[in-house]
């Protein structure tokens, strides 16, 4: 009997999206039914090619990739190629995949797959344009979804592309507003900057990866993150890089890794608060809770999961080395 969790990953690869894909693809509990691509870190056509590069790396080109929305619902598209490189993978110039191609119609794939596969989990790691379009075309397509885990937004943490907005919700604020306003049958599990900022790939952790079994995976991670390291130092004087997206996968694999609370959340769409996730934590509006917001994360548990699954780090060695690797971030 297939006891694996069926998942769809909607993403905008993207350096940290690629790390999230690696974690999902290296986790036996998960069956990645398909990967859908949205414009965000890079245009969707580039993101699709990057998803194929990750699939080729782990010999999983059997998993289909679908290209979705090239533009946000209403605002002009603004990428994050200043952070992720023109190629969306840190200008690593990893060769194009020629043995497989992405398909079109990501939105149709999402709708049809969710209808045909009850209890599928949806993970959204980019702007919510594809998800919004699927719900606009078929408002009931999430009726049988098991979980909906979203990297996006922030509660008390400051924004990363404005004082108040996180990139995924800023890039397509109308899509985010629409998705959060749909009274979905399940809560939106919001993995926001409050917790993802504590997941930092440091030079020390990267150096440890070099000594693990999966050398080809290490080389890929090293290649795609150097650009990201330089950006984080230049803009935030952080040595290393925040890797947001993999926490969504880790949280799916082990929900004890992070904790939060339920609340009503709405997304601002214009002006200086464009993309802000407004959390009604004092219930001013007396509206139903639509979101579970994560506020605490166990960094050690995350890195243990990531390093053992993706780099095949040896459990006993890792237990000894992890305290040396991690600086506890306040
Ligand atoms: O704000 C961080 C998020 O925006 C991450 O998902 C990153 O990949 C970008 O999509
Ligand atoms: Ca992303």
Q: Is the pLDDT of residue 324 over 90?
A: no
Instruction: Note if the pTM is more than 0.95.
Output: yes
Among the atoms of ligand 1, which is closest to the Cα of residue 127? 10
Residues touching ligand 1 (Cβ under 6 Å) are 12, 14, 16-17, 40-41, 80, 125-126, 151, 160, 166-168, 244-245
Q: How far apart are CA 220 and CA 229, in angstroms?
A: 14
Q: Which of 67-71, 185-189, 233-237 has the lowest mean pLDDT?
A: 233-237
Top mutation candidate among 158, 169, 244, 251 for ligand 1, by most atoms within 8 Å of CB: 244
**Which phi and psi (to 5°) does residue 7 adopt?**
-135, 150
- For the chain, give the percent of residues with pLDDT over 90: 93
Q: Are strands 200-201 and 241-242 parallel, antiparallel or unpaired?
A: antiparallel
pLDDT (average), residues 35-62: 98
Distance of CA 100 to the CA centre of its chain: 23
Token pair of 318 as six digits: 């890792």
Q: Is the pLDDT of residue 3 over 90?
A: no
> Nearest C-alpha to atom 1 of ligand 1 is from which residue?
167
All structural domains of the chain, each given as residue ranges with its CATH number in brackets, are 5-200+244-300 (3.90.245.10)
Rounded to the nearest angstrom, the distance between the alpha carbon of 67 and the centre of ligand 1 is 18
Rounded to the nearest angstrom, the distance between the alpha carbon of 242 and the centre of ligand 1 is 10
Q: Is the pLDDT of residue 330 over 80?
A: no
Among the atoms of ligand 1, which is closest to the Cα of residue 244? 5
The residue to which tokens 């200086």 are assigned:
272
Is residue 215 within a helix (H) or strand (E), and if so which, with residue range?
helix 215-236
Rounded to the nearest angstrom, the distance between the alpha carbon of 59 and the centre of ligand 1 is 25
Q: How far apart are CA 134 and CA 141, in angstroms?
A: 7
Determine the pLDDT at residue 235: 86
pLDDT (average), residues 221-226: 96
Q: How far apart are CA 102 and CA 52, in angstroms?
A: 8
Top mutation candidate among 11, 13, 14 for ligand 1, by most atoms within 8 Å of CB: 14
Q: Is the pLDDT of residue 237 over 90?
A: no
pLDDT (average), residues 235-249: 93
Per-residue pLDDT of 131-153, as tens digits, reads 999 999 999 999 999 999 999 99
Closest CA to 72 of 180, 154, 170: 170
Among the atoms of ligand 1, which is closest to the Cα of residue 40? 10
pLDDT (average), residues 2-18: 95
CA angle 289, 110, 35 (to 5 degrees): 105
Whole-number average pLDDT of the chain: 96
């Amino acid at each position: 009997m297939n006891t694996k969790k069926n998942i769809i990953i909607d993403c905008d690869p993207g350096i940290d999206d690629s790390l999230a894909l690696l974690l999902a693809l290296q986790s036996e509990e998960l069956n990645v039914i398909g990967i859908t691509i949205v414009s965000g870190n890079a245009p969707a056509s580039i993101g699709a090619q990057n998803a194929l590069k990750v699939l080729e790396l782990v010999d999983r080109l059997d998993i289909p990739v679908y290209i979705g929305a090239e533009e946000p619902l209403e605002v002009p598209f603004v990428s994050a190629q200043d952070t992720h490189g023109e190629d969306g993978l840190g200008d690593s110039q990893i060769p194009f995949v020629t043995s497989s191609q992405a398909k079109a119609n990501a939105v149709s794939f999402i709708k049809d797959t969710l209808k045909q596969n009850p209890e599928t989990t949806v993970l959204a790691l980019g702007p919510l344009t594809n998800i919004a379009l699927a719900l606009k075309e078929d408002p009931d397509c999430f009726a049988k979804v098991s979980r909906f885990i979203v990297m996006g937004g922030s509660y008390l943490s400051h924004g990363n592309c404005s004082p108040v907005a996180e990139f995924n919700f800023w890039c397509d604020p109308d899509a985010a507003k629409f998705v959060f306003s749909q009274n979905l049958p399940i809560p939106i599990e919001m993995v926001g900057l409050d917790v993802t900022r504590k997941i930092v790939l440091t030079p020390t952790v990267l150096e440890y990866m070099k000594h693990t079994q999966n050398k080809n995976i290490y080389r890929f991670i090293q290649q795609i993150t150097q650009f990201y390291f330089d950006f984080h130092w230049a803009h935030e004087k952080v040595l290393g890089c925040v890797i947001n997206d993999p926490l969504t996968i880790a949280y799916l694999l082990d929900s004890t890794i992070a904790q939060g609370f339920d609340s009503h959340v709405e997304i601002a769409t214009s002006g200086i608060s464009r993309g802000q996730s407004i959390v009604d934590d004092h219930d001013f509006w007396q509206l139903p809770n639509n979101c579970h917001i994560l506020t605490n994360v166990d960094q050690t548990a995350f890195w243990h999961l990531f390093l053992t699954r993706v780099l095949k780090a040896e459990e006993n060695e890792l237990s000894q080395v992890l305290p040396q690797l991690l600086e506890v971030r306040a």
